[in-house]
Amino acid sequence: MKYTAIFAFGLMMMSVARAGAPMRIFDVSRLTVQHDENVTPLKENPGMTAYGLAWDTRRWVREQTQQGNAQRSPAWAALFSAAVPGAGEAYAGSYWKAAAFMVAEALFVAGYITYQNRGDVKDRDMRALADSRWDEGRYWSKVYMLAVQNGKWDGPSLQTDAIGRLSDADVAANLDKLRYWETHGGFIGFTHELPHTKTQQYYEMIYKYLIQFGSGWVELGDNWTYYDDPASLNHLTNDVARYKTIRNQSNDFYHTATTISWVILLNHLSSAVDAAFTARAFNHSVEARLEGQTRYYAGETLPMYGLRINW
């Protein structure tokens, strides 16, 4: 539904009508009501009306409009903004909103990259610390000790060094048997299987499940049972405490980056919705025209200026 309002000065006339419907003109100077079935926009020359009103062909028109001739597709606007926030608003002619969405997107993406990189740096620091201070050979040596102590080791006796560590060659030769007793020995606190490769889970396990994996930290020396006592979890050794701090920092940075990624997605969705409404509003935008003309009325030629608003 489209409406038109005409504010005319000189004859002091104002009319409001639905597009396509007859207009009623109120002549305030005579306090009479005239009905004209053929009233047309002021910038057109209708000639004589049904009541003998003549329009002079001389006129001056200055027009300012907010909408162009081409319509904007809300679907395309939404699609553009879903891909690049603000693109749909620019397509629909709302450049300030387009700039706002684009600037927000740039800031969010910059924030995501920053926190993701910080998380990566801390993650590399954490892995470097683990690779230098957590010894997988010590862990398998602890598994071997427990299997022997519980009478479950069914292979040949293996040689250990002064602190009880197996040689790397013995670990490699008996790794399948050691892995079997890791999961089937029923040892207290053994609830997980060490990954075969150094995955993210590998680096998580070696500090989260210290009763099982704590013996692998080199700083313990020959104290293989320090983390067997749950109370020791409140008194972490230096390397483990530092490792945990770095790991938590890395996780915090990654969590922030993940949160920002959801904000980025929300920015895309909100921009898409806004772009669709902006395009729809563009197609029904307010059109303002300032018009001027002379009109012959009641025996006199009068200048007439009008403000025409379509919405």
Through-space distance between the first and last CA atoms of the chain, rounded to whole angstroms: 9
CA distance linking residue 9 with residue 5, whole number of Å:
13
Contact 154, 185 (CB under 8 A): no
Residue 14, pLDDT > 70, answer no
pLDDT-based confidence at 7, cuts 50/70/90? very low
CA distance linking residue 40 with residue 3, whole number of Å:
14
Residue 164, pLDDT > 60, answer yes
- Per-residue confidence (pLDDT) for residue 70, from 0 to 100: 74
pLDDT in tens, 116-148: 999 999 999 999 999 999 999 999 999 999 999
Return the SS3 of 307.
Answer: strand
CA distance linking residue 23 with residue 161, whole number of Å:
107
Q: What are phi and psi of 205, to 5 degrees?
A: -65, -40
* Residues in Cβ contact with 273 at an 8 Å cutoff, skipping those fewer than 6 apart: 78
User: Given the DSSP bridges, would you call strands 3-9 and 300-310 parallel, antiparallel or unpaired?
Assistant: antiparallel
User: Given the DSSP bridges, would you call strands 300-310 and 287-297 parallel, antiparallel or unpaired?
Assistant: antiparallel
pLDDT-based confidence at 155, cuts 50/70/90? confident
- Per-residue confidence (pLDDT) for residue 9, from 0 to 100: 41
Q: Which amino acid is at 120?
A: D
Contact 186, 143 (CB under 8 A): no
CA distance linking residue 285 with residue 80, whole number of Å:
21
Instruction: Decide which of 306 and 7 is more confident.
Output: 306
Instruction: Decide which of 13 and 73 is more confident.
Output: 73
- Per-residue confidence (pLDDT) for residue 283, from 0 to 100: 87
Residue 218, pLDDT > 80, answer yes
pLDDT in tens, 229-255: 999 999 999 999 999 999 999 999 999
Report the share of the chain in percent with pLDDT over 90: 65
Return the SS3 of 197.
Answer: coil
pLDDT-based confidence at 107, cuts 50/70/90? very high
Report the share of the chain in percent with pLDDT over 70: 69
Q: Which has the minimum average pLDDT: 3-7, 122-126, 186-190? A: 3-7
Average pLDDT, whole number, for the chain? 80
- Per-residue confidence (pLDDT) for residue 33, from 0 to 100: 34
- C-alpha closest to that of 187 among 228, 245, 238, 232: 228
Q: Which two tokens stand for residue 37?
A: 């079935």
